[in-house]
Amino acid sequence: MSWHVHAETLARYARGTVDATQQFSVEAHLVSCGACRASIASFVDVRALERTWDVIEGETAAPPAGAIERLMVGFSIKEHIARLLAATPSLRRSWLLAIAAVLTLAVLVANGAPNGYVFFLAVAPLLPLAGIAAAYGPGIDPTYEIGLVAPMRSVGLLLIRAVAVLVSTIVLSTIAALFLPGFDWRILAWQLPSLGLVTGSLALSTIVHPLRAAIAVAATWLVGISAAAAIVSSPTPARAVFGGVMQLVLLIVTIGAGVFLVARREEFERGEHR
Partner 1 sequence: MSNVTVERVVKRFGSTRALNGVSVEAGSGITGLLGPNGAGKTTLLRILATVMAPTAGEVAILGRNPASPRDRLEIRRRLGYMPQEPGFHRNFTAFEFVDYVAILKEMTNRRARHAEVKRVMHSVGLRDVEDRRIKALSGGMRRRVALAQALLGAPELLILDEPTAGLDPKQRLRFRETMSHLGEDRSILLSTHQTEDVAALCPRVIVMNHGTALFSGTPSELADVARGSVWLSAERAAEAHLSYRTGEGRYRNIGPAPANAELVDPTVEDGYLVLLGDEAIVEAA
Give the number of other CB atoms < 10 A from CB of residue 130. 21
Q: Is 84 in the site for partner 1 (CB under 8 A)?
A: yes
Q: Is 86 in the site for partner 1 (CB under 8 A)?
A: yes
Candidates 36-44, 126-134, 199-207, 263-271; binding stretch for partner 1 (CB under 8 A): 263-271
Quick one: DSSP state of residue 189? G
- Considering only residues 63, 114, 182, 244, which one is a binding residue for partner 1 as defined by CB under 8 A? 63
Q: Could you give the residue ranges of the DSSP H alpha helices within 41-153?
A: 46-61, 67-74, 79-86, 93-112, 116-123, 126-133, 144-149
Q: How far is the CB of 80 from partner 1 (least distance, A)?
A: 5
- Considering only residues 122, 157, 202, 204, which one is a binding residue for partner 1 as defined by CB under 8 A? 157
Q: Is 208 in the site for partner 1 (CB under 8 A)?
A: no
Q: Is 145 in the site for partner 1 (CB under 8 A)?
A: yes
Q: Is 33 in the site for partner 1 (CB under 8 A)?
A: no
Candidates 76-84, 165-173, 218-226, 235-243; binding stretch for partner 1 (CB under 8 A): 76-84
C-alpha neighbours within 13 Å on the C-beta side of residue 42: 7
Candidates 129-137, 228-236, 242-250, 265-273; binding stretch for partner 1 (CB under 8 A): 265-273
Q: Are the C-beta atoms of residues 208 and 188 closer than 8 Å to each other?
A: no
* DSSP assignments along 211-250, one per residue: HHHHHHHHHHHHHHHHHHHHH---SSHHHHHTSHHHHHHH
**Residue (141 or 206) nearer to partner 1, CB:** 141
Integer Cα distance of 85 and 73 in angstroms: 11
Q: Is 92 in the site for partner 1 (CB under 8 A)?
A: yes
- Considering only residues 66, 97, 104, 251, which one is a binding residue for partner 1 as defined by CB under 8 A? 66
- Considering only residues 12, 83, 212, 264, which one is a binding residue for partner 1 as defined by CB under 8 A? 83
Q: Are the C-beta atoms of residues 31 and 5 closer than 8 Å to each other?
A: no
150, burial (CB in 10 Å: exposed 0-12, middle 13-18, buried 19+):
exposed
The residues that touch partner 1, with contacts defined as CB under 8 A, are: 53-55, 57-58, 61-63, 65-66, 79-80, 83-84, 86-87, 92, 141-152, 157, 266, 269-273
